[in-house]
Structure 1
Amino acid sequence: MSRESKTESPVLSMDDVSFSYAGGRYGAGVEGISLSLGRGEVALLCGPSGCGKTTVTRLANGLAPHFYEGTETGTVSVCGIDVAREELWETARYVGSVFQNPKTQFYNVDVRGEVAFGCENLGFEPSDIDRRVDAAAREFDLAPLIDESLFSLSGGQKQRVACASAAAVSPALVVLDEPSSNLDFEAIAQLRSAIARWKAEGVAVLVAEHRIHYLEGIADHVLYLDDGRLARRWTADEFARLDDSERMQLGLRARSVDGIFHGNGRYNASAKAETQRAAAEKETVRFEGLTARCRKNGAFERILKVDSLELPAESVTALVGSCGAGKSTFAEAVCGLNRCDGTVTLRGDRLGKRARRRKCFMVMQDASHQLFSESVLDEVTLGMEGPDRQRRGLGILRDLDLDAFAEDHPLSLSGGQRQRVAIAQALATNRRLVVYDEPTSGLDLFHMQQVAEGIRRLCEHGITQVVITHDPEFALSCCTHVAVMDGGCITEVYPLEEDGINRLASFFCSKHHAEEKRGLANPADTPTSFLATKGVNP
């Protein structure tokens, strides 16, 4: 795929690879995949949710078929070794992985131990391990958290730990599956810097993503999967020239940060303005004395303090802030799910913690935590009443493009599909206040728009919604207001009209550009490339 790869053996090579999971579990299989990545090449793997992107990453790092059993044909090799036949511990010398849900790859309970884990497994010298851990912690801004428990971190912070763990080993190939799904803009800029560093060091990088804007100017190749097949290929220049209408027809998100705020994001401004005018005439939802505590160093520490907050009833408020600002803690407190105090006044009813569990609904960041039934339809109808609940449940699934999976087990679906099942639950419960924690992680453009449409539809039924999000593209598509959180407190609230859009753009872009200005650290401060330390010459 590059001039070098014609004269050198590729770091990653897939030759006519097909794979199907045993029993049809774990997601979509793939058919006839052929690709190669040379030293310092970055490939973006994109396509609709459930198209097989995750399967390609599992083939590249050897998890399929070693861990995810199934039938494989063709050949996958990394630095000349056949990963389907080599032991996983041997493949780990060459491949670093970052999963969509970082918790599934953790083996320790503290940050330092997790970042060091791969190096220890590979038998690095203790002094070398310490150097690598410190460098990776600096690169991913983990130094203040290095001695913290993993259980105390936010979703975005955990993703940064997973990236640092992969970086510490200095592999020949880094495989990332939706690495930005739970990251704020500052952390995404850090991720971009890390990928740029790997590229400069000669490391090959394969990234499966829906949020593709941060790879602008870094990705050398864009590979589009559809229904398990590699349907389209573009060079970076070809992809940059792709017409926006064609990009949207393919279900691909904005290609640049500028495209988010000055492209399609403003399309429903008039509809939002009408919703804002209607909301202004209605009563408000009030949050008073809302606090929450968590245990740190053997004592309980207050991590949320919202003295007073009013949001228009029947509005959709985007709750934004950096990773660790307290957004998920706020969501749990609103729904009475953590160690919290305070009240929420909803339609004149002053709700304490126990009452909020019955009146509010939360769509969790990790949708797997709230999926319990044997089928997708059973999951959606679990909290519904009435003789026609099956019909209504199927209607909700149809609106979210999930009706084809009605009889499937929820945990057999892809990450993005599970997220939509959880959102279908929220639509089915008909509660008056719904809080979403990162509802678009793992969603392509089509399904993001479907979720946005479902949220707008709930407004018409008198439901107030709060959406925790690091995704401005989504916020612009359905939210009417913005609330900013920092240090466990709400610092500002504003309507998302023209001036509000500019304020939101300033909020996200200031973090993005601040990290870009920080630039790459001195390469001498980071672990030496695996290719150099191990003498590999792919």
Structure 2
Amino acid sequence: MITFKDVSFKAAGCEDYILRNINLKIQEGSCVVFTGKSGCGKTTLTRCINGLIPDVYPGEMSGEMIINGTPARGALLWNFEPICGSVFQDPRSQFFTTNTTSEVAFAMENYGVCTHEINRRIDEVMTRMDIDNLRGRSVFKLSSGEKQKVALASAVALKPKVLVLDEPSSNLDIQSTLALGGMIKRLKAEGYTIIVSEHRLYYLRDVADKIIYIDKGKIEWEAAREEISKLTPARLAAHGLRSLKLKDFARKGSADNRADNRANLPSEVRLDVSGVAFKYGRGAQLLKNITFSALGGEIIGIIGANGKGKTTLLRVLSGLMEPQAGSISMNGVPLPAKKRIKASYFVMQDADYQLYAESVSEEVTLGCPHSELLERKRDTILSNMGIKMLESRHPGSLSGGQKQRVVIAAMLVKDVAVLLLDEPTSGLDYESMKMVSGILKLQSQQGKIICIISHDYEFLNETCTRILHLDNGEVVKDFNMSEDNCLHSILFQEEGRYVC
């Protein structure tokens, strides 16, 4: 179905090759997973398969690619689309309409599918993916997870022979991720060839025919179906990979994550949120009577299913939105929106929203008065985040995980009391996740209040001192991570259904 023979690729304007001598065969009807550290070349490989390289992403390419029996080099881009359906890491970048139903129909309309068949496929795919509740919605009012589901529905509705999915679980809650694994299994049974670029492997372990590990643009090793179950947690961790089983995410030392020695902290900060409510226009109430307090040194994980108000809460806390009811204060002093903006830094889920400068080095110090002290601080943070070697690169040329680390580095340069992060590990490999976790713990020890939205169970276990569980815009549970297995009991109910 897909063959690569000594394929190498170097992006325009770059000195180093992103892909090096790739030799690969993917059989029709199989499911193959590309994995590896952030920036290893996974996304670039998927772009070769779906035809975006070298037409949309130009560069120097060598070797031979054969897709569905036809040499790919020199083929017209639109000839790939009926063969390959794609879901990008950032689903916003593939939307062409403003309405979810129109978006699912868009590709089919462009390939001349008749109206009756378009409507039939829309009904089929939206029901199948359990997103009937998203029908007719504005794409601008969807959560990131909901956008990802719509992008997948658009790709599946076209009925391509090959589905190319780049980090399809990065914005999904655990229940939706497991449902995605079930859908991939069903599509594979129907004869689809499915290629997934992914860090999170637990939902793919029962459907993948092969896992291919890529490092620095080269295929380092492959694990066939019968070998996947033999990949031990130690081997996976040694290669910077996530666990194959959710239940392997054991809690390691809950109490030692908590900065309880506040006498040693430089200052005591208290954030009080009381009765906060918010809704968009005449829409449904997204936040209802949100009430909690946070102290300096706490790392609070905010969990809940997609579309339940988590991101809206951080937008309100950051000052980007003003609540329609309730109050927010720090150390007893009311904080209107302008003061909340100054007191906090918000790392958004979509890193592209926060990248403006021409280089990584400029990006992390944007808006800061220049000084030698700032330069030293910047260099230290870039080194700690593992992106010092990227300092002269344009942020737009980086992988999703690298962009995420750049935005987090920019946050660390700023001296604010409250750090707000929305899915900070969505594009990160295991090692990068551990790195971010360690850095946030150091920030908490300096007396910062840290609030993190995450569906990354490993990261929550590793990092947080406390959890807020949001459902339908309300805090339904608030507990310390020292309460053994409390997080697991929320995520995994008796009937075996993950809910966050």
TM-score of the aligned structures, taking structure 2 as reference length? 0.94
Q: Quick check: 1:182 aligned with 2:201?
A: no
My pick for the range that moved more, 460-469 or 301-310, is 301-310
Q: Distance in 1 between matches of 2:44 and 2:80?
A: 17
Partner of 2:299: 316
1:21 to 2, 5, 11: 11
Q: Quick check: 1:363 aligned with 2:347?
A: yes
Name the Cα RMSD after superposition: 2.2
CA gap 1:483/1:512 in 2 versus in 1, 3 angstroms: farther
Task: Give a deviation string over 1:512-532, Cα, whole Å, max 9, x none.
Answer: 94389xxxxxxxxxxxxxxxx
Partner of 1:416: 401
Q: Distance in 2 between matches of 1:84 and 1:360?
A: 49
My pick for the range that moved more, 390-399 or 242-251, is 242-251
SS at match of 2:372: coil
CA gap 1:331/1:429 in 2 versus in 1, 3 angstroms: same
SS at match of 1:493: strand
SS at match of 1:357: helix
SS at match of 1:24: coil
Q: Quick check: 1:329 aligned with 2:312?
A: yes
CA gap 1:173/1:275 in 2 versus in 1, 3 angstroms: farther
Q: What percentage of aligned pairs have identical amino acids? A: 34
SS at match of 1:266: coil
Structure 1 position 383, deviation (Å): 4.2
Partner of 1:3: none
2:275 to 289, 292, 306: 289
Query: Does structure 1 retain, via aligned residues, the 8 Å contact 2:7–2:65?
Result: yes
Partner of 1:86: 75
Query: Does structure 1 retain, via aligned residues, the 8 Å contact 2:322–2:337?
Result: no
SS at match of 1:167: helix
Q: Distance in 2 between matches of 1:78 and 1:223?
A: 19
Structure 1 position 199, deviation (Å): 0.9
2:243 to 241, 248, 254: 254
Query: Does structure 2 retain, via aligned residues, the 8 Å contact 1:286–1:345?
Result: yes
Task: Give a deviation string over 1:347-394, Cα, whole Å, max 9, x none.
Answer: 343211121011111000111111112221222122445531001100
Q: Quick check: 1:151 aligned with 2:140?
A: yes
Q: Quick check: 1:36 aligned with 2:21?
A: no
Query: Does structure 2 retain, via aligned residues, the 8 Å contact 1:16–1:34?
Result: yes
CA gap 1:397/1:373 in 2 versus in 1, 3 angstroms: same
Q: Distance in 2 between matches of 1:282 and 1:492?
A: 25
Partner of 1:507: 490
SS at match of 2:319: coil
Q: Quick check: 1:457 aligned with 2:442?
A: yes
Task: Give a deviation string over 1:143-192, Cα, whole Å, max 9, x none.
Answer: 11111111110000000001111111121111010010000012112211
CA gap 1:506/1:495 in 2 versus in 1, 3 angstroms: same
Query: Does structure 2 retain, via aligned residues, the 8 Å contact 1:287–1:306?
Result: no
CA gap 1:105/1:513 in 2 versus in 1, 3 angstroms: farther
Q: Quick check: 1:124 aligned with 2:113?
A: yes
Structure 1 position 458, deviation (Å): 0.4
CA gap 1:82/1:507 in 2 versus in 1, 3 angstroms: farther
Query: Does structure 2 retain, via aligned residues, the 8 Å contact 1:276–1:495?
Result: no
My pick for the range that moved more, 452-461 or 87-96, is 87-96
Q: Distance in 2 between matches of 1:171 and 1:503?
A: 43
Task: Give a deviation string over 1:22-41, Cα, whole Å, max 9, x none.
Answer: 1129x972011111222221
Q: Quick check: 1:494 aligned with 2:483?
A: no
Structure 1 position 416, deviation (Å): 0.4
2:219 to 230, 233, 237: 230
CA gap 1:194/1:355 in 2 versus in 1, 3 angstroms: same
Q: Distance in 2 between matches of 1:279 and 1:267?
A: 24
SS at match of 2:426: coil
Task: Give a deviation string over 1:208-236, Cα, whole Å, max 9, x none.
Answer: 00111110111110100000001111112
Query: Does structure 1 retain, via aligned residues, the 8 Å contact 2:259–2:444?
Result: no
CA gap 1:117/1:127 in 2 versus in 1, 3 angstroms: same
Q: Distance in 2 between matches of 1:16 and 1:366?
A: 34
My pick for the range that moved more, 481-490 or 44-53, is 481-490
SS at match of 1:35: strand
Query: Does structure 2 retain, via aligned residues, the 8 Å contact 1:28–1:50?
Result: no
Partner of 2:331: 347
Structure 1 position 336, deviation (Å): 1.0
Partner of 2:40: 51
* Partner AA of 1:347 in structure 2: N
CA gap 1:421/1:221 in 2 versus in 1, 3 angstroms: same
SS at match of 2:57: coil
TM-score of the aligned structures, taking structure 1 as reference length? 0.88
Structure-to-structure mapping, 1:360-509, within 5 angstroms: 360-385=344-369, 386-499=371-484, 502-509=485-492
Query: Does structure 1 retain, via aligned residues, the 8 Å contact 2:259–2:297?
Result: no
Q: Distance in 2 between matches of 1:376 and 1:20?
A: 20
Structure 1 position 81, deviation (Å): 2.2
Partner of 2:124: 135
Q: Distance in 2 between matches of 1:229 and 1:511?
A: 43
Q: Quick check: 1:12 aligned with 2:6?
A: no
SS at match of 2:280: strand
* Partner AA of 2:317 in structure 1: V
CA gap 1:120/1:46 in 2 versus in 1, 3 angstroms: same
SS at match of 1:388: helix
Structure 1 position 301, deviation (Å): 5.0
My pick for the range that moved more, 385-394 or 179-188, is 385-394
SS at match of 1:427: helix
SS at match of 1:15: strand
SS at match of 1:514: coil
SS at match of 2:13: helix
My pick for the range that moved more, 335-344 or 147-156, is 335-344
Structure 1 position 279, deviation (Å): 11
How many correspondences in the alignment?
496
Task: Give a deviation string over 1:434-467, Cα, whole Å, max 9, x none.
Answer: 1101000110001001100110010111100000
SS at match of 1:232: strand
Structure 1 position 80, deviation (Å): 1.2
Q: Distance in 2 between matches of 1:29 and 1:172?
A: 27
Q: Distance in 2 between matches of 1:278 and 1:145?
A: 49
